[in-house]
Amino acid sequence: MPIVQVELLEGRTLAQKRLLVEKVTQAIVESIGAPAEKVTIIIRDMSKDNYAKAGKLASDE
C-alpha cells in the first residue's frame, strides 16, 4: 500500500524516470517488506519557476 510522490525539477529523461521507479520500489520492498505490486509512485515535474529554496526561485539562481 505504500504511495510515493516524487517532485523533480523538469528535464529528467524517460530512462531516468524508468530507473527511478524501479529503484525506489525496490528500496521500499527491501526496507519495509511491502510487496512490489503494492507500491505506487507518482512523479511530478516542477518547472524552475515553480521551485524555491531560501525564498529564491530555481530559475533565478
Site residues for a copy of itself, 13-52, by CB under 8 A, read 14, 16-28, 30-33, 36-46, 49-52
By CB under 8 A, tell whether 10 contacts a copy of itself.
Answer: no
d(CA 55, CA 27): 32
d(CA 38, CA 49): 34
Q: Is 35 a catalytic residue?
A: no
d(CA 20, CA 28): 12
Active-site choice (1, 2, 4, 11): 2
d(CA 7, CA 46): 7
Where does this chain bind a copy of itself (CB under 8 A)?
Answer: 1-9, 12, 14, 16-28, 30-33, 36-46, 49-60
Tell me which residues are annotated as active site. Answer: 2
